[in-house]
Amino acid sequence: MTSSANTTRSALRKGEKTREDILRVAVDLASVEGLEGLSIGHLARTLKMSKSGLFAHFGSKRDLQLATIETARKIFVDYVTRPALAQPAGIPRLWALCDRWVGHVERKIFSGGCFFSAASFEFDSRPGPVRTAIVAAMREWLGTLTRAIDEAKKAGHIKSSVSASGFALEIYSMAVGAHWALQLLDQKEALSNARRLMRSRIRSQVTPAVRGGRLARFLKF
């Protein structure tokens, strides 16, 4: 490989790393101040960069918002979804998804709490590509929860009468409510309450085999 090619590849890697670093700051900024408050000028001031330097990575505010949503989605998948899906199908996997969702808020993986809960409220009535990207991310998450419940039903851990999609929405509604109570009402116990409520709701739908077996430890019977 020529020296010129090596230089080009090095420059590309450096550019990609810079873009990743910028987007990680953008995600935290948007989680606190909202996606609509995220602009190239605001981000440039936060990063102490020039606007022209940021324009080299993002051509517009919309491009920046969309890239920020995608970065937040990848962070969420890396921290919540992927580790939970590594658990055995059934109750272990379903509970891991719930527990890690609460955990990502507790550990402030995003500075402002749950990035997508905040973004969903901010853009729920605003049509356009930003809303579309948020909807896609939320459908992906609800789809993951729904599949986990379906798997638990097939494994004989959850009652066959349970609607997987309805139960997924119910569980996530508890999580969103807890996030609202924590962020807006400053209820410090909101997340521990969410864990307790989700655990209790899942327990109410398990089969007798789970209630009296080794999997009971996941739900602390």
- Could you read off the pLDDT of 6-40 as tens digits, one per residue? 555 554 566 578 888 889 999 999 999 999 988 88
| Radius of gyration, CA atoms only, the chain | 20
Residue the block writes with tokens 């990575």 = 57
DSSP string, 57-72: T-SSHHHHHHHHHHHH
Domain of 92? 3-218
Tens digit of each residue's pLDDT (9 = 90 or more) over 62-111: 999 999 999 999 999 999 999 999 999 999 999 999 999 999 999 999 99
Higher pLDDT, 203 or 5: 203
Residues 48-63: what's their mean pLDDT?
83
Which amino acid makes up residue 118? A
Look over the chain and give the mean of its residue pLDDT values, rounded to a whole number: 89
DSSP classification of residue 108: T
Backbone angles phi, psi at 206, to 5 degrees: -80, 160
- Cα(65)–Cα(47) distance, integer angstroms: 16
Counted domains in the chain: 1
Residues 151-170: what's their mean pLDDT?
96
Contact 43, 27 (CB under 8 A): no
CATH number of the domain encompassing residue 25: 1.10.357.10
With 70 as the cut, is the pLDDT of residue 136 above it?
yes
